[in-house]
Homo-oligomer: A and B are copies of this chain.
Amino acid sequence: MTRGATPTEADLIRAIAARTRITGRTPRMSLGIGDDCAILRPPRGHELLVTTDFSLETVHFRRDRHTPESAGHRCLARGLSDLAAMGATPLAIFLSLALPPELLRARNGQPAWRDRFLDGLLALARKHRVPLAGGDTAASPATPVPGTTTGLALADIVALGTAPQGRALRRSGARPGDALYVTGALGGAAAELAQLAAHPRRFARLRAPADNSAHPHLFPQPRLTVGQWLAQPGRASACIDVSDGLSTDLHHLCEASHCAAVVEVVRLPIHPLGAATKDGLNLALHGGEDYELLFTAPTSVRIPRRIRGIPVTRIGTIRRPRRNQPIVSLLTLNQQEQPLTARGWEHFRTTPF
């Protein structure tokens, strides 16, 4: 936190610093918020894993559809899911947060948007025992949008994790013959997003669900303990999280591994929210933001049906890439192969929400 002079910015930093008590301190954090940098002590013999992810109002969330708790939860879930995909143990998180003045103030007896956003973010941090160690604050740029708002909420989350030297899972380790697996179920986030688009106020009172899997879009659950299990020697060969959508993320994995893959429709675990629509298969294939783990392992490795309580399903096979054959194919119910093109989330082309 470099700058902190005014009552108001000092106040925002204080609100954040006060809340770091929620996530507490760890022996790995020598110094948290309050100096020019935070100081961390990664365990000896471990490598450091780092990811950054924007959460920008109107691009990644909408203030009129997502509760502040959901926006905060989703902001951190994106970062933690990247750590999960590499099998890392979270070390610390950093939050850069720019808000318009109206979001700093309590209103109508409700806590300020700022406080509820932080509550959502830090509840997830506490669950995974990762401390908020620093960040930056700013007034967000004034945007003269007619009507309600004077500026947009802009957040960038930095997640740091560690893994024993050489053990981090990568996208590039899949080999022909490996089996292809996915955790949890797919398409639920996209199905819930569609519900939200149809009924924007439907979940206006939802702060955090009792059941982890009930709100895959509003409160996605990063699969950290599964990733750590998979990164043990002799288990997964490659891993990526399903953030853009199965079709797109499987292309990323295949390209990094110089392999091809075939997915069997019959095996796909479709989320109940998706299965309840006419479009469940498409949502599972292209929906994105499920934050499940898509991973590969040699068939000689025994992958249980549940890892750390999360269901795991074999959905296909990695194979050698061939000329005139698509990188990713889909084996349909009637045993026909067809190309599975990458049609997941696309910035600059996809219109969000």
Which of A's residues lie within 8 Å of B, judged by CB? 2-9, 12, 30-31, 34-42, 44, 47-54, 56-60, 78, 81-83, 85-86, 88, 92, 94-96, 98, 101, 104, 133-146, 152, 154, 156, 158, 160-161, 165, 168, 170-172, 240-241, 243-244, 248, 252, 256, 342, 344-350
The answer to whether B6 touches A350 (Cβ under 8 A) is: yes
- Known contacts A40-B47, A52-B136, A243-B2; is A34 also within 8 Å of B256 by CB? yes
Interface of A is mostly: mixed
The answer to whether A53 touches B2 (Cβ under 8 A) is: yes
The answer to whether A156 touches B136 (Cβ under 8 A) is: yes
Q: How far is the CA of A152 from the CA of B154 in the complex (A)?
A: 12
Q: How far is the CA of A144 from the CA of B39 in the complex (A)?
A: 41
- Known contacts A54-B96, A141-B56, A158-B94; is A9 also within 8 Å of B347 by CB? yes
Q: How far is the CA of A121 from the CA of B64 in the complex (A)?
A: 36
Q: How far is the CA of A299 from the CA of B114 in the complex (A)?
A: 45
Residues of B within 8 Å of A252, CB to CB, are 4
Residues of B within 8 Å of A7, CB to CB, are 349
Residues of B within 8 Å of A50, CB to CB, are 37-38, 40, 92, 94, 133-134, 158, 160
A and B contact pairs by CB, cutoff 8 A, 29 listed: A2-B51, A5-B248, A5-B349, A6-B346, A8-B348, A34-B256, A35-B256, A36-B51, A37-B161, A38-B51, A39-B47, A41-B165, A50-B94, A50-B134, A51-B134, A51-B136, A52-B134, A52-B156, A54-B96, A54-B136, A54-B154, A56-B138, A56-B141, A58-B142, A59-B141, A60-B138, A104-B348, A138-B347, A158-B158
